[in-house]
Structure 1
Amino acid sequence: MQLYYHPGNASMAPHLLLQEIGQPFELKYVDRDRGEHRSPEYLRLNPNGRIPVLVDGELVLYESAAICLHLADRFPEARLAPPPGTAQRARLYQWMLWLSNTLQAMLLHWFYPERMVDSGDAAAAAQVRAQAEEQIQQMLQLLDAQVAASGGDWLLGADYGIADAFTLMLCRWTRNFDRPAREFPHLGPYLQRLLARPAVGRMFEAEGLQAPLV
């Protein structure tokens, strides 16, 4: 398997899961600063020009959440997701879609507010970013409440899984906010439990990421 990644990007959650699974894989660095994600070679893998892409034999897969779900199904022995057809699996789908479609989407508005306004309108972009951060704070409160109510150490209870990898990635993206995820009463200790996992440490080391990690 090959994972096309950029440090700290949306490839982080799939990279973490590959570290957890322990099967051989190759990291393929995509230099965003040089526009490699827009190169003809990369666009043949992902016509959206976004990172990550997973190549698994004949399968070429993009969208971080889809890659995470695929890895859970591809390696059931890693126990990264509940069995298909169970209520727990349905709950996993709910949270993976919420994380990717709601929280991640709003985080992208914070990072790239200029995409939502007329070119060169700095004041409008600043307003978009401010509104996005306000919405993200409300979403982090919901996430904090879910951790508190889970009945275990992890987002969905006693078992660590793909939703935790995805949550770590998105919470890291808030590390420079006025109130980052680590300052919420339940998310803070939860993120420290995640950072204590050996696979998380290997992922951060491989990507060369520095403190603050979350």
Structure 2
Amino acid sequence: MLQLCYSPGTASMIPHLLLREMGLPFELRLFDTEQQAHRSAEYLRLNPNGQIPTLIDDDLVIYETAAICLHLADQHPAAGMAPALGSVERAHFYKWLMWLNNTLQTTLIVYFYPDRWADDEAAIAQVQQHAEAKVGKLLDLLDAELARHGGEWLQGDRYSVLDAYTFVLCRWTRRFARPARDLPHLGPYLRRILARPATQQMLAGEGLPEPWI
């Protein structure tokens, strides 16, 4: 059985939500980052980076969120969580997946951990301020993409890995001065994802309190 090493509220929410959407049997293995469990010898044997999440698929151990999502989508194509290989839609899917992982998520990490890039309090505050402003511009790009094609989901009319990814990253902005839910197209989009049974199951399974977006 698939095992997902997770910690509530972290990037592990993304494959957790995907597993719920796909209806696959899986087991959650808690490594609470608040308790530094991701730094334990047990976890580092699985993921030497000490980062959440990690997926165990029989003898295969995979880390990096985007890689986990691609593996699940490719191993279970009937679930329809990614466009067909070789298609134009698949190329755009790769583009958005890498953008979410490398651009939006990376900038959010700078916001939440500004002390990794500066030492004194004033500089740390400035780094965080710039990161929040940059995230705002990136959310505008997402909002514009939803407005452009007018579909229910990020890639049009079919829910995919991209929507699970976007939901979790946008959730991380819920306490920003201008959260994703306040944008005209992102707000309704996030509420559509929130209303899905798999999303509610994921949130309940991680014991996450409101606000959810």
Query: Normalising to structure 2: TM-score of the pair?
Result: 0.98
Matches within 5 A, 1:188-207: 188-207=187-206
Q: How far apart, CA to CA, are the structure 2 residues paired with 1:16 and 1:26?
A: 13
Q: How far apart, CA to CA, are the structure 2 residues paired with 1:73 and 1:160?
A: 15
Structure 2 counterpart of 1:65: 66
Q: How far apart, CA to CA, are the structure 2 residues paired with 1:24 and 1:135?
A: 38
Matches within 5 A, 1:156-167: 156-167=155-166
| Cα deviations by residue, 1:114-165 (Å, 9 ceiling, x for unpaired) | 00013xx111110000000010000000010111123310000000000000
| Cα deviations by residue, 1:6-58 (Å, 9 ceiling, x for unpaired) | 11100001000100111210000011122110111111111111000000011
Structure 1 counterpart of 2:46: 45
Q: Runs of 4 or more off by more than 2 Å in structure 1?
A: none
Q: Any conservation in 1 of the 2:111–2:128 contact (CA below 8 Å)? A: yes
Q: Which amino acid aligns with 2:121?
A: A
Query: Normalising to structure 1: TM-score of the pair?
Result: 0.98
Equivalent residues, number: 212
Please say which of residues 174-183 and 23-32 is displaced more in the overlay: 23-32
Structure 1 counterpart of 2:138: 139
Identity of aligned residues (%): 58
Q: Any conservation in 1 of the 2:8–2:32 contact (CA below 8 Å)? A: no
SS of aligned partner of 1:108: helix
Unaligned runs of 5+ in 2: none
Q: Which amino acid aligns with 2:46?
A: L
1:125 has 2:131 as partner: no
Unaligned runs of 5+ in 1: none
Q: How far apart, CA to CA, are the structure 2 residues paired with 1:128 and 1:136?
A: 12
SS of aligned partner of 1:7: coil
Matches within 5 A, 1:1-214: 1-118=2-119, 121-214=120-213
